[in-house]
């Protein structure tokens, strides 16, 4: 656990003193950070209290970047750059986990404040990084790790620090939102819309981390940690991507008044005995078309927070891209640089609540189940009895013709994951059910 009492006060370099900065990585984000730092250098000096001085940019292949930056700023020796005495802040915009982890730890140990945009790194190693920052009495900022330009880490860490957060749900992956939104508005299938997302530059050449939900799971871990003052890693997040979502699912959702979004859902749960726990999950989710998150189109992101005193808040904007990510990185640079000049340090991670992570089977939600069943007398009653045997109450049942069979679309009231999973597996084995085509969770009502 981190406590401010353990820290010694950092008196600061003094107003007017320069703040040396090293940037690790010169891709889309790194280049924008350098450009904006240069273009608005006078503003940065005023906002910080001293000039920001770029001391170097570390890249893996100098040849590739030749001509994009003054020759004496480029280096392929990241470690030596980090260790320079005139470097006060290190910005990590490389990506990956193992190599940046080594560099970030080295920077923190050397007394440099660190700004990282690396969600996978923070979601996997926040505890270790945070301890290293505490030990060295320096800042560790990562606003850009969640939803790029959208300020949500800062609000959770600072503005909402006096409130009790009940849930944080959001669309935190632009690629999948683009694909699902395009499927919803055109009726096209997943493969075609993934191809379009790739052609337009939204999806990476290897889209696995986005479409399988891993990228969103890292962000969910970071959001849940901040919201619930508890250490949550990406491994604690249940994760299901969008690759199985069909145009039939989208169509059925539409008919019933819903849209399908890949949501990261972080909630505080309270059981019958009043014991609290945390659930963090990422999966395709039906939400009512009038829900604020339903109107988030294209590759935009939005995060919906429910807190006891604040009520409902929504943060909306660009969740990816060089410029929006650079905006968040630069905001963190200003924060960390101010502390270097004026002294002090931002509050570190707060994990005092240390709530347990709920077993996924104990998570309550509603479900939209699409299945094909034999069309004969008594089948509907038999299916309803399978649900009621597991204590699951049905909210609506819709039947459509499906050749010689019937298509049944069942929406349940709130039920536990474990009860629903048992019911679905029994239905799949039953001779009256030809196939369970999809089971999609439903939220937001």
Nearest to 408 by CA among 385, 366, 365, 438: 438
Q: Which of residues 353-392 bind ligand HSE (CB under 6 A)?
A: none
User: How many residues in total does the chain contain?
Assistant: 445
Residue window 115-154: x/- pattern of binding to ligand HSE, with contact defined by CB under 6 A: ----------------------------------------
Which stretch, 120-128, 167-175, 304-312, 391-399, contacts ligand HSE (CB under 6 A)?
167-175
Nearest residue to 97 (alpha-carbon basis) of 215, 183, 190: 215
Catalytic residue among 13, 55, 112, 219: 219
CA atoms of 52 and 41, how far apart (whole Å): 7
Asked if 324 interacts with ligand HSE (CB under 6 A), we say: no
Candidates 88, 139, 210, 370; binder of ligand HSE (CB under 6 A) is 210
Please check whether residue 399 is in contact with residue 379, taking contact to mean a CB–CB distance below 8 angstroms.
no
Specify the stretch interacting with ligand HSE by CB under 6 A; choose among 48-56, 66-74, 171-179, 368-376: 171-179
Q: In whole angstroms, how close is the CB of 175 to ligand HSE at the nearest point?
A: 3
Stretch that binds ligand HSE, among 91-99, 168-176, 245-253, 257-265 (CB under 6 A): 168-176
Q: Is 88 in the site for ligand HSE (CB under 6 A)?
A: no
Rounded to the nearest whole angstrom, what is the least distance from the CB of residue 314 to ligand HSE in the complex? 17
155 forms part of the interface with ligand HSE (CB under 6 A): no
Q: How far apart are CA 103 and CA 82, in angstroms?
A: 8
Interface with ligand HSE (CB under 6 A), residue from 90, 156, 320, 383: 320
**319 binds ligand HSE per the rule CB under 6 A:** yes
Q: What is the rounded distance in angstroms from the CA atom of residue 423 to the CA atom of residue 40?
A: 60
Q: Please, which residue, 212 or 372, has the CB nearer to ligand HSE? A: 212
Pairing of strands 165-171, 258-270: antiparallel
What is the CA angle 262-264-266, rounded to 5? 155
171/420 with CB nearer ligand HSE: 171
Q: Is 196 annotated as a binding residue?
A: no
Q: Are 255 and 145 in contact, with CB atoms under 8 Å apart?
A: no
CB-nearer residue toward ligand HSE: 49 or 207: 207
173 binds ligand HSE (CB under 6 A): yes
Per-residue binder mask for ligand HSE (CB under 6 A), 403-442, x = binder: ----------------------------------------
Q: Give the residue among 5, 6, 50 at the shortest CA–CA distance from 343.
A: 50
- C-beta of 319: minimal distance to ligand HSE in Å? 5
Closest CB 301 distance from ligand HSE, rounded Å: 7
Cβ proximity to ligand HSE: between 167 and 175 the closer is 175
Q: For residue 131, what are the CA distances in angstroms to 88, 219, 436?
A: 19, 20, 47
Distant-in-sequence, close-in-space partners of 230: CB < 8 Å, separation ≥ 6: 224, 278, 351, 353, 354, 355
39 annotated to bind ligand? no
The CB-of-434 to ligand HSE minimum distance in angstroms stands at 36
174 interacts with ligand HSE by CB under 6 A? yes
Residue 219: active-site member? yes
Question: Residue 186: which residues within 8 A CB-CB, separation 6 or more?
Answer: 193
Residue 123 vs 442, nearer CB to ligand HSE:
123
Question: How would you list the strands of the sheet with 113-116, edge to edge?
Answer: 74-75, 52-58, 19-24, 89-92, 113-116, 140-141
Q: Which is nearer to ligand HSE, 81 or 149 (CB)?
A: 149
Sign of CA pseudo-dihedral 77, 79, 85, 87: positive
Least distance from ligand HSE to the Cβ atom of residue 154, Å = 18
- Distances in Å between the alpha carbon of 385 and those of 316, 394, 429, 436? 43, 10, 15, 17
18 in contact with ligand HSE (CB under 6 A):
no
Query: Interface with ligand HSE includes 215 (CB under 6 A)?
Result: yes
Q: Tell which positions 252-311 bind ligand HSE, by CB under 6 A.
A: none
- Token output for 305: 């927070």
- Please identify which residue in 10, 113, 116, 175 interacts with ligand HSE, judged by CB under 6 A: 175
Catalytically active residues are: 219
Interface ranges with ligand HSE (CB under 6 A): 173-175, 210, 215, 319-320
Residues making up the annotated binding site for NADPH are 119
């Amino acid at each position: 656990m981190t406590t401010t009492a353990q820290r010694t006060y950092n008196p600061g370099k003094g107003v007017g003193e320069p703040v040396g900065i090293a940037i690790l990585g010169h891709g889309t984000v790194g280049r924008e950070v350098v450009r904006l730092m240069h273009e608005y250098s006078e503003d940065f000096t005023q906002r910080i209290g001293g000039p920001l001085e770029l001391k170097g940019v570390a890249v893996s292949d100098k040849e590739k970047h030749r001509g994009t930056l003054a020759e004496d700023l480029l280096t392929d020796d990241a470690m030596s750059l980090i260790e320079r005495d005139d470097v006060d802040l290190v910005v990590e915009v490389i990506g990956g986990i193992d190599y940046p982890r080594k560099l970030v730890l080295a920077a923190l140990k050397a007394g440099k404040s660190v700004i990282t945009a690396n969600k996978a790194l923070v979601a996997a190693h926040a505890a270790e990084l945070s301890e290293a920052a505490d030990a060295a009495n320096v800042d560790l900022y990562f606003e850009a790790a969640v939803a790029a330009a959208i300020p949500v880490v800062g609000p959770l860490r600072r503005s909402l620090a006096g409130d009790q957060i009940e849930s944080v749900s959001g669309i935190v992956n632009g690629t999948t939102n683009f694909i699902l939104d395009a499927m919803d508005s055109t009726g096209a299938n997943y493969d075609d819309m993934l191809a379009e997302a790739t052609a337009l530059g939204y999806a990476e050449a290897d889209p696995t981390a986005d479409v399988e939900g891993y990228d969103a799971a890292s962000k969910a871990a970071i959001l849940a940690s901040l919201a619930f003052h508890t250490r949550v890693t990406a491994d604690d997040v249940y994760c299901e991507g969008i690759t199985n979502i069909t145009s039939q699912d989208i169509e059925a959702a539409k008919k019933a008044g819903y849209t399908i979004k890949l949501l990261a859902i972080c909630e505080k749960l309270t059981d019958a005995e009043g014991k609290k726990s945390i659930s963090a999950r990422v999966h395709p989710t039906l939400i009512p078309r009038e829900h604020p998150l339903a109107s988030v189109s294209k590759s935009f992101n939005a995060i919906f927070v429910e807190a006891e005193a604040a009520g409902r808040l929504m943060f909306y904007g660009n969740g990816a891209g060089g410029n929006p990510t650079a905006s968040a990185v630069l905001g963190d640079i200003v924060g960390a640089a101010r502390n270097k000049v004026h002294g002090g340090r931002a509050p570190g991670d707060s994990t005092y609540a240390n709530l347990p992570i709920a077993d996924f089977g104990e998570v309550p939600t509603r479900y939209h189940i699409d299945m094909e069943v034999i069309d004969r007398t008594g089948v509907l009653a038999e299916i309803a009895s399978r649900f009621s045997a597991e204590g699951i109450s049905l909210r609506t049942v819709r039947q459509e013709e499906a050749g010689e069979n019937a298509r049944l679309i069942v929406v349940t009231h709130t039920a536990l994951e474990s009860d629903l999973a048992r019911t679905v597996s029994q239905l799949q084995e039953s001779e009256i059910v030809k196939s369970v085509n999809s089971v999609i969770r439903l939220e937001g009502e």
